[in-house]
Chains A and B, each alone.
Chain A
Amino acid sequence: MATYTPPLRDMQFVMHEVLNVVADFATMPVHADMDVDTINAVLEEGGKFATDVLLPINISGDTESCKLDAVTHEVKTPTGYKEAYAQYIAGGWAALACDPEFGGQGLPLVVNQCFYEMMNSANQAWTMYPGLTHGAYAALHTHGTDEQKATYLHKMTSGEWTGTMCLTEPHCGTDLGLMRSKAEPQLDGTYRITGTKIFISAGEHDLTENIIHLVLARLPDAPPGIKGVSLFIVPKFHVDKDGSIGARNSIFASRLEHKMGIKSSATAQIELEGAVGTLVGQPNKGMQGMFVMMNAARLGVGNQSLGLTEVAFQNALAYAKDRIQMRSLSGVKAKDLPADPIIVHPDVRKMLLTAKAYAEGGRALMCFSSMLLEKEHYHPDEKVRKDSGELLAMLTPIVKAFITDNGHISTNACMQVFGGHGFIKEWGMEQFVRDNRINMIYEGTNTIQSLDLLGRKVLGNNGATLKKFGKLIGALVAEEGVNEKMAEFITPIAVLGDQMTKFTTELGFKGFQNPDEVGAAAVDYLRVAGHLVFGYFWARMAQVALKQIAAGDTDPFYVAKLQTARFYFAKLFPETATAMRTARAGSKVLMDTDAALT
């Protein structure tokens, strides 16, 4: 069975030493008195919850998976899931970062995100149940009426009720404009919704007494396509005026999917048979509300892969130190053992460091993004709110696609470290690979993310947002550019930053002439942009480590950080050269291939 140690030291390093989040909180009235100790204490407890409660039921949950009763339409989650959820509620974990107005604890989003990272490491599939609730909570919090908020948000905050996002239908996934579910207005101002939704995570389960579905559907007079989609709240059970549970709504799970991974997460097909719902936001503007959920969810998906990358790394590292096999190429290392531990081998180290560098770089980006989200909503200065929102919009597809792709690379590498044992279920390594695989697909496939990045976020405003990130790099170069010790970290990002401008202009120009060029280059482009962002954070982390070492701090953590930074720039960052080259190879070799694709 896999083991897990919450990476509290590294989280503290990123939050307090690299990003100095407390200084940011001081500028935001809602968090003005937030301090380092509070944050650390919460995460320490959160780490225990993940390790003690969620980790033990990860493999068993995967084996057992969920069961649907075809008659009652009820779903039974694996053994221990319900109990774990009860502990989750009892510990107040659901309310961590929610609005105090609805009973939340009002902690910063970055704390919640770190907590979620640990839950994802311990058990991604279980974490889906509370995770989805957060997206629904955010959509209602932003677009719901006062009455809707009063009715639902308290229980969603406490976690007593969970939420879902019902978008996908059998014939429409990525392209929601094709949606068919209908919403008929009723005289009492409610709507009766009919249709079939598939791939609904946490769509039905036995963890809570009620499930609050957010459902996209068309009004009778809706214009065709994406501009005719409205958002509705459809509870599993009606909620009476006094807040008590009422009658069963006609929304049912009709099937559970059999999946490659996250098997203990109930992925339901949902039938709405004239289910009663209320409208959220304006008619036909359902995507606005949904985008709030999707953006939160996309960040959440990146965080899932971050968790898997971390836990896979920890287990592979332990195994590589323990497993003895063959001798080092450069001579015997462990004389008193019959063979050397496999960590002596360069490529084993490369696999381990790949996961470590992607985990720690990903953590820095995740925390930075959470802080942007926080500032977008709670910073008193309007300009900071706007800038943070724009920068986050550009980083969101990178968080989603780059971190999940890296998770794929990392969990596979870590499984590889185990050799044949990695392929055996009881070690847990193959489950990390399987669980991660969906992260590259749902909430917009990674190709969709790359099109979003290049087409909308970058070229859509002629690179203006990209320049904002360029300014961050520029500031770091101005600060550390002449520090010889930092040169190995600064030069690569300064050079890539310059190349990026030309590269982007070139793709923009090509894309104007032939939009397929954008499609052909986007995935490569996202890899380059991802490394630019990771490179920036690795340089900042190296900067802190160097300062601490220079100041006489002997904590080996900083030496490790520096070594990992060097590994990252030497072995992972250069992927950018290949990616730019393949992007520049253009669309012709893809589009002139009709014969090859017959």
Chain B
Amino acid sequence: MSRFQVKKVAVLGAGVMGAQIAAHLANVKVPVVLFDLPAKEGPKSGIVTRAIDGLKKLKPSPLGVAEDAAMIQAANYEEHLEQLRDCDLIIEAIAERMDWKLDLYKKIAPFIAPHAIVASNTSGLSITKLSEVLPEAIKPRFCGIHFFNPPRYMLLVELINTPTTQPKILDDLEAFVTSNLGKGVVRAKDTPNFIANRVGVAGMLTTMKEVENFGLSYDVVDDLTGKKLGRASSGTFRTADVVGLDTMAHVIKTLQDTLSIDTDPFFASFATPEVLKTLLEMGNLGQKAKAGFFKKVGRDIMRFDLDSKEYVPGGQKADEVYTRMLKKPAGERLQLLRNSEGVQGQFLWAILRNAFHYAAVHLGTIADNARDVDFCMRWGFGMKQGPFELWQEAGWLTVANMVKEDIDAGKALCNAPLPDWVFNGPVAHAGGVHTAAGSWNPTTGQFVPVRSLPVYTRQYFPENVLGSDAPSAATAGTTLHEYEAIRLWTLPGADADVLIASIKTKMHAIGPGVVEGLVQAVDMAEASFKGLVIWSNDEMFSAGADLQAMLPAFMVGGVKAIDAAEAEMQQAMLKLRYANIPVVSAVRGLALGGGCELAVYSAKRVVAMESYIGLVEVGVGLVPGAGGLTYIARRAAENAATSTGKDLLPFLTEGFTAAAMAKVGTSALESRKLGYLLESDVIVPHKDELLFVALAQARAMFDSGYRAPNKRPFAVVGRSGVATIKGSLVNMRDGGFISAHDFHIASLIANVVCGGDVDAGSLVTEEYLMMLERQAFCSLLNHPKTQERVMGMMSTGKPVRN
């Protein structure tokens, strides 16, 4: 069986989605050619080159590093169709017009390679209808591939087949999208708006309807329906503002055009809300028009008032009692909300009830199984839990009866009854739609297990739904030692030869417990394992040293106590680096300060694409104190040693700047540019493949005869380097770019990375530089301005500029 390979991808349509999909392909090193119409004036590919330029300015950035925009090849349909012949995958992402799409398919058909997959990123049109115009030879290779905006960050990709799509094609595409693009795939049926947008947009519309019913204001609703409800922090209306109210209106129109009261009993609730019409008429299209449901005036956020058509002061929060209700266990929470006497509580129950109602009524027609609906809402709409998970957690039949009572009492949005499977048969018996055997498919009346494609064997702890009894990374495998701060464990079978250390503290902060645990892990790994992998199963490698935990020691013992704690951390870092087995840091999400230091003192880093690495201590008025600056000095010496030039300083500048300005890489790629990752480190697109790859790397290194690096002194630039760097710092300070305290901290950093008051080219040890680090760290800790920054950070969570 030949392996499906994607050597090159074509993206058709350089609009918002097409260009960003192309950017994401560039991120994961897939050559991509981006097409659009030929420009009427100027260079023929002008539309595309402008779109590519636009990618660099877009926030959040679709590109890992801006210069990778150059990796996207610009093309137009007039001159470059020939290039399609080299493409293994063609993604069509032009405007949502059936006639335009069909025209384009006819135009490109002759140029499509005989093995290539053709996929449409349409979010509303029927994939089957689109396929009908294609030549018979292409039909089996045609499907829907539905990305979510912004495609780099949203995990969800829906794949949609037509009756003629070859199953293997979809499996191949799923493997590519999963492992190479790092996305979470859900197979959707070819029904209007597929799964996520169908449920999600219906949810937004019905939420807006309930907002009208209950007479709540938009700021309060956003507070209620944001993080507190386990949804995206932008809530309901700010999300609409960000998406754009014209786009919202378009999606709603699709819903209105493609559905009817016959296909969707909730149809009556899908009328465009009055307020949306009004805002559209006023041209207040949301964020891009600087006014929508909300409008920023100076520092204040104003909210729209439909009655007066004016913006009035906003920023009102939900009543705290509902915040506390939302923190209760699911069952109690729903009871409390339903029995609530206040409108905010009643509103919350209403939108949750509507979500349960809608999902249950439509599950059989829009999705293969309940898990797919929950994944879609999590991955495509940023919810912590999908509707079925919440329902099941709260008690299946209890909630079902609550919903039924509301339907019977005419309180629900429509009188469509809950399907019979809700109350009778396997689901009722199992207490929910998700079971260890799989998730409910109402059409077949079976619980469907997760698809078992080979690509999923790379995910040791894949995302799973509540009730599926999937193993948890917190308890899986064999625990060798477990402390409050860290767990040392192994996986079974072939992976049992590598030790895994998982940090458990909040934000994975590094305190004494973590340091002790890591030291023990190295000892254990050296004695009995092929390597040590530092990995945790969440969006956080480590946010750094635990300042809060250090504070009591500092207040009692002063700087001396901290000096000792720092020295211990430094020793632990050196222990990792000079371990006789490879230590591999599997980084995902934040690796800041001490977390960054942990990573750079490992023998290798296996890094998820979405990783943000940096030494940020300056933000709290400190310097990296656990070997971070020593690393910068050593890397500069190592890099200089490989070049012919004699001057060390240029090699130091980048590292110095990154630390002095507290730069954090906005992706794994940018983190590498800052010097915190090496070319030899591995970047992994899919977060859930991280552990698999890290274990494989550790084992391969050991099997290749791993030896710890030689411990040898290296050259530093000395006092002349300090003077040069300080010279430019003086200019920055006098120019008002940095404060006096910034200058002071940066000077201390310069002093450490240059090796202090020594001659240029002097050879120094890591221990010597670490001593300088500690001196700088401790002197700053006693500095009032630093203390102001630390306190500010602790009390407001925001950096203080002083």
CB distance from A434 to the nearest CB of B (A): 42
- Cβ–Cβ contact A510 & B321, under 8 A: no
Question: What's the dominant secondary structure at chain B's contact region?
Answer: helix
The interface residues of chain A lying within 8 Å CB-to-CB of B556 are 462
- Cβ–Cβ contact A509 & B791, under 8 A: yes
5 residue pairs A–B, Cβ–Cβ below 8 Å: A483-B321, A494-B324, A502-B794, A506-B794, A509-B555
* Partner-contacting stretch, out of A133-141, A219-227, A377-385, A484-492: A484-492
CB distance from B785 to the nearest CB of A (A): 11
The interface residues of chain B lying within 8 Å CB-to-CB of A484 are 321, 340-342, 345
- Cβ–Cβ contact B324 & A482, under 8 A: yes
CB distance from A113 to the nearest CB of B (A): 35
The interface residues of chain B lying within 8 Å CB-to-CB of A477 are 324
A486 vs B324: C-alpha distance in the bound complex, in angstroms?
12
Within A468-518, the residues touching B (CB, 8 Å) are: 477, 481-484, 486-487, 490-491, 494-495, 502-503, 505-506, 508-510, 512-513
Q: Which residue of B lies closest to A487 (CB)?
A: B321
User: A residues bordering B, Cβ < 8 Å?
Assistant: 459, 462, 477, 481-484, 486-487, 490-491, 494-495, 502-503, 505-506, 508-510, 512-513
A462 vs B790: C-alpha distance in the bound complex, in angstroms?
17
A450 vs B214: C-alpha distance in the bound complex, in angstroms?
48
The interface residues of chain B lying within 8 Å CB-to-CB of A491 are 319-321
A459 vs B555: C-alpha distance in the bound complex, in angstroms?
9
Which of A477, A482, A487 gathers the greatest number of chain B CB atoms within 10 Å? A482
Which of B319, B321, B555, B784 gathers the greatest number of chain A CB atoms within 10 Å? B321
B468 within 8 A of A: no
* A494-B320 in contact given A505-B794, A508-B555 (Cβ < 8 Å): yes
- Cβ–Cβ contact A513 & B794, under 8 A: no
* A505-B795 in contact given A462-B555, A482-B336 (Cβ < 8 Å): yes
Partner of A512, one of B324, B340, B341, B555: B555
CB distance from A264 to the nearest CB of B (A): 48
Q: Which residue of B lies closest to A478 (CB)?
A: B324
The interface residues of chain A lying within 8 Å CB-to-CB of B552 are 462
- Cβ–Cβ contact A512 & B554, under 8 A: yes
- Cβ–Cβ contact A513 & B340, under 8 A: no
* A482-B328 in contact given A487-B321, A494-B320, A506-B795 (Cβ < 8 Å): yes
The interface residues of chain A lying within 8 Å CB-to-CB of B328 are 482
Within B311-346, the residues touching A (CB, 8 Å) are: 319-321, 324-325, 328, 332, 336, 340-342, 345
- Cβ–Cβ contact A509 & B787, under 8 A: yes
B551 within 8 A of A: yes
A510 vs B791: C-alpha distance in the bound complex, in angstroms?
9
The interface residues of chain A lying within 8 Å CB-to-CB of B555 are 459, 462, 508-509, 512
List 10 tightest A-B contacts by C-beta distance, closest first.
Answer: A487-B321, A481-B324, A491-B320, A502-B795, A482-B325, A462-B552, A509-B791, A512-B555, A482-B336, A506-B791
CB distance from A487 to the nearest CB of B (A): 4
Q: Which residue of A lies closest to B790 (CB)?
A: A509
CB distance from A457 to the nearest CB of B (A): 15
Q: Which residue of A lies closest to B336 (CB)?
A: A482
CB distance from A276 to the nearest CB of B (A): 46
A512 vs B554: C-alpha distance in the bound complex, in angstroms?
9
Q: Which residue of B lies closest to A492 (CB)?
A: B320
The interface residues of chain B lying within 8 Å CB-to-CB of A508 are 551, 555
CB distance from A389 to the nearest CB of B (A): 22
- Cβ–Cβ contact B551 & A505, under 8 A: yes
Q: Which residue of A lies closest to B552 (CB)?
A: A462
Q: Which residue of B lies closest to A512 (CB)?
A: B555
The interface residues of chain A lying within 8 Å CB-to-CB of B787 are 509-510, 513
The interface residues of chain B lying within 8 Å CB-to-CB of A486 are 321
CB distance from A508 to the nearest CB of B (A): 6
A462 vs B328: C-alpha distance in the bound complex, in angstroms?
30
Beyond A487-B321, A490-B320, A506-B794, list 4 extra A-B contacts (CB 8 Å): A459-B555, A482-B328, A495-B320, A512-B558
The interface residues of chain B lying within 8 Å CB-to-CB of A503 are 795
The interface residues of chain A lying within 8 Å CB-to-CB of B790 are 509
Per-residue CB contact flags for chain B residues 784-798 toward chain A (1 = under 8 Å, else 0) read 100100110011000
* A487-B795 in contact given A481-B324, A482-B324, A482-B325 (Cβ < 8 Å): no
CB distance from A500 to the nearest CB of B (A): 12
Q: Which residue of B lies closest to A503 (CB)?
A: B795
- Cβ–Cβ contact A490 & B791, under 8 A: no
CB distance from A403 to the nearest CB of B (A): 29
Q: Which residue of A lies closest to B792 (CB)?
A: A506
The interface residues of chain A lying within 8 Å CB-to-CB of B551 are 505, 508-509
CB distance from A128 to the nearest CB of B (A): 41
CB distance from A592 to the nearest CB of B (A): 15
A512 vs B325: C-alpha distance in the bound complex, in angstroms?
39
A397 vs B345: C-alpha distance in the bound complex, in angstroms?
41
A27 vs B412: C-alpha distance in the bound complex, in angstroms?
53
The interface residues of chain A lying within 8 Å CB-to-CB of B794 are 502, 505-506, 509
The interface residues of chain A lying within 8 Å CB-to-CB of B345 are 484
Q: Which residue of A lies closest to B786 (CB)?
A: A513
A509 vs B554: C-alpha distance in the bound complex, in angstroms?
9
Which of B342, B345, B795 gathers the greatest number of chain A CB atoms within 10 Å? B795
CB distance from B338 to the nearest CB of A (A): 12
Q: Which residue of A lies closest to B325 (CB)?
A: A482
The interface residues of chain B lying within 8 Å CB-to-CB of A495 are 320
The interface residues of chain A lying within 8 Å CB-to-CB of B791 are 505-506, 509-510
CB distance from B71 to the nearest CB of A (A): 47
The interface residues of chain B lying within 8 Å CB-to-CB of A481 are 321, 324-325
The interface residues of chain B lying within 8 Å CB-to-CB of A502 are 794-795
A491 vs B319: C-alpha distance in the bound complex, in angstroms?
9
Partner of B319, one of A459, A483, A487, A506: A487
Which of A484, A503, A506 gathers the greatest number of chain B CB atoms within 10 Å? A484
A491 vs B328: C-alpha distance in the bound complex, in angstroms?
16
A67 vs B435: C-alpha distance in the bound complex, in angstroms?
90
Partner of B320, one of A487, A505, A513: A487
Q: Which residue of A lies closest to B321 (CB)?
A: A487
Q: Which residue of B lies closest to A584 (CB)?
A: B795
The interface residues of chain B lying within 8 Å CB-to-CB of A509 are 551, 555, 787, 790-791, 794
CB distance from A550 to the nearest CB of B (A): 13
Which of B320, B345, B790 gathers the greatest number of chain A CB atoms within 10 Å? B320
Q: Which residue of A lies closest to B548 (CB)?
A: A505
CB distance from A10 to the nearest CB of B (A): 28
Q: Which residue of B lies closest to A459 (CB)?
A: B555
The interface residues of chain A lying within 8 Å CB-to-CB of B341 are 484
A28 vs B551: C-alpha distance in the bound complex, in angstroms?
40
The interface residues of chain B lying within 8 Å CB-to-CB of A512 are 554-555, 558
The interface residues of chain B lying within 8 Å CB-to-CB of A494 are 320, 324
CB distance from A510 to the nearest CB of B (A): 7
CB distance from A542 to the nearest CB of B (A): 14
Per-residue CB contact flags for chain B residues 286-315 toward chain A (1 = under 8 Å, else 0) read 000000000000000000000000000000
Per-residue CB contact flags for chain B residues 555-571 toward chain A (1 = under 8 Å, else 0) read 11010000000000000
- Cβ–Cβ contact B321 & A482, under 8 A: yes
The interface residues of chain A lying within 8 Å CB-to-CB of B336 are 482
The interface residues of chain B lying within 8 Å CB-to-CB of A462 are 552, 555-556
CB distance from A308 to the nearest CB of B (A): 36
Per-residue CB contact flags for chain B residues 459-473 toward chain A (1 = under 8 Å, else 0) read 000000000000000
Q: Which residue of B lies closest to A463 (CB)?
A: B552
Per-residue CB contact flags for chain B residues 382-399 toward chain A (1 = under 8 Å, else 0) read 000000000000000000
A509 vs B325: C-alpha distance in the bound complex, in angstroms?
34
The interface residues of chain A lying within 8 Å CB-to-CB of B782 are 513
The interface residues of chain A lying within 8 Å CB-to-CB of B558 are 512
CB distance from A571 to the nearest CB of B (A): 20
A518 vs B340: C-alpha distance in the bound complex, in angstroms?
45
Per-residue CB contact flags for chain B residues 149-182 toward chain A (1 = under 8 Å, else 0) read 0000000000000000000000000000000000
A509 vs B793: C-alpha distance in the bound complex, in angstroms?
12
CB distance from B509 to the nearest CB of A (A): 16
The interface residues of chain B lying within 8 Å CB-to-CB of A505 are 551, 791, 794-795
A61 vs B140: C-alpha distance in the bound complex, in angstroms?
108
